[in-house]
């Protein structure tokens, strides 16, 4: 799922402090899982902003709200009144949600409370790790289920490089070497013969490099 991290409080405050009215708007799906942008977090953030405003003797009417998902139209029904009346919106959704709100409300400034960081899993409660970069051409079938694009810092397709040390990546002792993991998996699956197959050159036009992507189902 999409993982994000709340921006530093001071940065958020600087973005919104000049408004007289603000809606702190949560998104209760992906960013609620990592406890950064859910409706509960929106309530807390609104409270913190009110406290800051009071201390700085600035008058802002701050209300909080939220919906299930900020990336689909139907979910906005329940918050229509709230959004129609807001002078500005501080959205706690990922970048997708922030843009969706901005598109729906052309005349209302929308600010991101989060930095959207990556697509990842919930390895453990409170621990999220990057697993996919949406490259558009998945090779997980040949790498034993380990992604070289998102988990190798050099996105090598014929790894490991010469910097792999004790199963760790050269850039950090906390980072597993993706290709060590690939080799371990291939061994476990009895597929070490696949290791010597040369991976073909990647078509990056299916990735970000090819421009913003879209997907349309014809039968709709």
Partner 1 sequence: MEIKTNSKLEKVLKNGHMAVTSECGPPRSSDSAGIIKKGHLIKDHVDCINITDNQTSVTRLCSLAACIHLKNEGLEPALQMVCRDRNRIALQSDILGAASFGINSILCLSGDHQSFGDHPSSQNVFDLDSMQLIQTARYMRDEGKFLGGDEIKEPPNLFVGAAANPFADPFHIRVPRLAKKIAAGAEFIQTQCVYNLDKFELWMKGVVERGLHEKVFILPGITPMRSVGMAKYMARAVPGMDVPKELIDRLSGVPKDKQAEEGITIAVEAIERLKECTGVKGFHIMAIEWEEKVPEIVERSGLYPRPDVG
Partner 2 sequence: MIGVNPERVEFYNLSAAQGPRWAEICTEFTEKIITMGPSPIWFALQKKKQSAETEKQFA
- How far is residue 57's CA from residue 161's CA, in Å, rounded to a whole number? 57
Report if residue 167 touches partner 1, rule: CB under 8 A. Answer: yes
Q: Which of 81, 103, 174, 196 binds partner 1 (CB under 8 A)?
A: 196
Q: Which does 52 bind (CB under 5 to 8 A by kind): partner 2, partner 1, none?
A: partner 2
Q: Compute CA distances 198 → 77, 150, 162, whole Å.
A: 52, 19, 17
Among 154, 176, 185, 206, binds partner 1 (CB under 8 A): 154
Helix, strand, or coil here: 25? strand
Among 125, 201, 218, 219, binds partner 1 (CB under 8 A): 201
199 binds partner 1 (CB under 8 A): yes
- Nearest CA-CA partner of 6 in 111, 79, 134, 129: 111
The listed partner (partner 1, partner 2, none) that binds 199, CB under 5 to 8 Å by sort, is partner 1
Instruction: Tell me: does residue 2 bind partner 1 (CB under 8 A).
Output: no
**Closer Cβ to partner 2, 16 or 146, answer by number:** 16
Smaller CB distance to partner 1: residue 48 or 175? Answer: 175
Cis previous bond, 160, omega within 30 = yes
Spatial distance between the Cα atoms of 102 and 89, rounded to a whole number of angstroms: 9
Rounded Cα distance, 178 and 144, in Å = 11
Identity of the residue, 68 or 207, whose beta carbon is nearer to partner 1 in the bound complex? 207
Alpha-carbon span 31 to 93, nearest angstrom: 7
Q: How many positions of this chain bind partner 1 (CB under 8 A)?
A: 29
SS3 161: coil
Between 54 and 158, whose beta carbon lies closer to partner 2?
Answer: 54
Q: Does 175 bind partner 1 (CB under 8 A)?
A: no
β-partners of residue 110 are 89
The contact set with partner 1 (CB under 8 A) reads 153-167, 170-171, 177, 180, 183, 192, 195-196, 198-202, 204
């Amino acid at each position: 799922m999409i993982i994000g991290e709340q921006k530093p409080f001071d940065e958020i405050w600087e973005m919104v402090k000049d408004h007289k009215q603000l809606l702190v708007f949560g998104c209760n799906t992906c960013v609620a899982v990592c406890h950064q942008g859910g409706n509960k977090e929106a309530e807390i953030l609104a409270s913190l902003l009110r406290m800051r405003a009071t201390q700085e003797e600035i008058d802002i009417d701050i209300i909080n709200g939220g919906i299930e998902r900020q990336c689909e139209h139907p979910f906005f029904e329940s918050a229509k009144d709230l959004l129609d009346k807001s002078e500005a919106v501080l959205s706690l959704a990922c970048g997708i949600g922030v843009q969706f709100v901005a598109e729906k409300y052309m005349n209302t400034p929308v600010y991101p409370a989060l930095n959207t960081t990556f697509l990842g899993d919930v390895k453990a409660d409170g621990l999220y790790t990057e697993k996919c970069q949406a490259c558009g051409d998945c090779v997980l079938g040949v790498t034993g289920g380990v992604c070289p694009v998102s988990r190798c810092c050099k996105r090598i397709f014929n790894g490991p490089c010469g910097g792999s040390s004790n199963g760790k990546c050269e850039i950090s002792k906390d980072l597993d070497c993706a290709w060590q993991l690939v080799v371990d998996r291939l061994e476990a699956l009895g597929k070490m013969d696949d290791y010597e197959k040369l991976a073909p050159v990647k078509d990056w036009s299916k990735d970000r490099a090819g421009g913003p992507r879209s997907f349309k189902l014809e039968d709709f």
